[in-house]
Chain A
Amino acid sequence: MMSLPFLLFACGLGAAWLRQRAVAMGFWVAGMVVMLVLFRIHASSVVNIAL
């Protein structure tokens, strides 16, 4: 599952190589969403610091 953002960004790069700009942007958006969801999963604990 952690490799999914890389797969989506690589697909975006592949679309760029094939000159499919809209497809590349679509893969980038999907990759960002997956990456941020994974970040949310891994940043669940409260950090005990006073800012």
Chain B
Amino acid sequence: MTGDLSRLLNALGLVLVSAVLALALTDELWFGDLPCPLCILQRAAFAAAGLGLALNLVFGPKPSHYAVTILGAAAGAAIAMRQIVLHIVPSTGSYGDPILGLHLYTWSFMIFALMIIGCAVMLLDDRQFARAEPISTRLKSLPLLALTLFTVLTLAAMVSTIALCGAGLCPDSPERYLLFE
């Protein structure tokens, strides 16, 4: 695998992470499904994992950048698993409405697991780490778009969290934006 192909795959991965953040924000702003603290931490874990893909785009593929994504996704999977376990016993309720039969935290866990598997598959090919080809200092259009999209959505998630929780910790079941009270 060449460095360019690796960057293309990382750009696609970053677009998918951005799509997850965009869907979460749409669910919150359009459908009024305000996120719980664990949901917000899962969003943060997507930002953490996506940062590794972003580093691959800017500085070229490195094993340490994949480690950033794997560790971020592992933390996110642990947070999502905690929320699944909270609601796994029948009649203990759930949080939010299911999408395609599964709750968002279950989808979140599966996406984090796929990210870890995807990074492991990418790490199998050492040729992407060779510096035989010159690495351009200018990003091509898709990596630039992916990086811009991810940066904007990370900032949007931050603004949303500030509006929802203010300067403190978030309530367990938020019903309104604390900043506007």
Task: Assess whether A42 is in contact with B41, with CB atoms less than 8 Å apart.
Answer: yes
Total chain A interface residues with beta-carbon distance under 8 A: 30
Interface residues of B in 74-88 (CB under 8 A from A): 75, 78-79, 82, 85-86, 88
Task: Assess whether A39 is in contact with B41, with CB atoms less than 8 Å apart.
Answer: yes
**Given A2-B169, A35-B44, do A17 and B162 touch, yes or no (CB 8 Å)?**
no
A32 CA to B88 CA, complexed, in Å: 27
Task: Assess whether B85 is in contact with A49, with CB atoms less than 8 Å apart.
Answer: yes
A5 CA to B49 CA, complexed, in Å: 12
Task: Assess whether B71 is in contact with A32, with CB atoms less than 8 Å apart.
Answer: yes
A6 CA to B159 CA, complexed, in Å: 9
| Residue among B48, B88, B162 with most chain A CB within 10 A | B48
| Nearest CB of chain B from residue A39's CB, rounded to whole Å | 6
A24 CA to B170 CA, complexed, in Å: 27
Q: Residue on B with the closest CB to A19?
A: B58
Between A and B, how many residue pairs show CB distances below 8 Å?
A: 108
When distances are taken between beta carbons in the complex, the residues of chain A under 8 Å from B64 are 25
For this complex, into which size category does the number of interface residues on chain B fall?
35 or more
- Which of A3, A19, A28, A49 touches B48 (beta carbons < 8 Å)? A28
What is the interface of chain A mostly: helix, strand, loop, or mixed?
helix
Give the contact stretch, choosing among B25-33, B97-105, B122-130, B150-158: B150-158
Task: Assess whether B165 is in contact with A3, with CB atoms less than 8 Å apart.
Answer: yes
A26 CA to B75 CA, complexed, in Å: 17
- Which of B41, B52, B78, B86 touches A38 (beta carbons < 8 Å)? B41
| Nearest CB of chain A from residue B170's CB, rounded to whole Å | 5
Task: Assess whether B169 is in contact with A28, with CB atoms less than 8 Å apart.
Answer: no
**Given A9-B48, A39-B41, A41-B169, do A16 and B157 touch, yes or no (CB 8 Å)?**
no
When distances are taken between beta carbons in the complex, the residues of chain B under 8 Å from A49 are 85, 88-89
Q: Which B residues fall within an 8 A CB radius of A?
A: 37-38, 40-41, 43-45, 47-48, 51-52, 54-55, 58-59, 64, 68, 71-72, 75, 78-79, 82, 85-86, 88-89, 147, 150-151, 154-155, 157-158, 161-162, 164-165, 167-170
Pick 10 A–B contacts, CB within 8 A, sort by A.
A2-B37, A2-B161, A3-B162, A9-B47, A16-B58, A19-B58, A28-B48, A28-B52, A31-B44, A32-B75
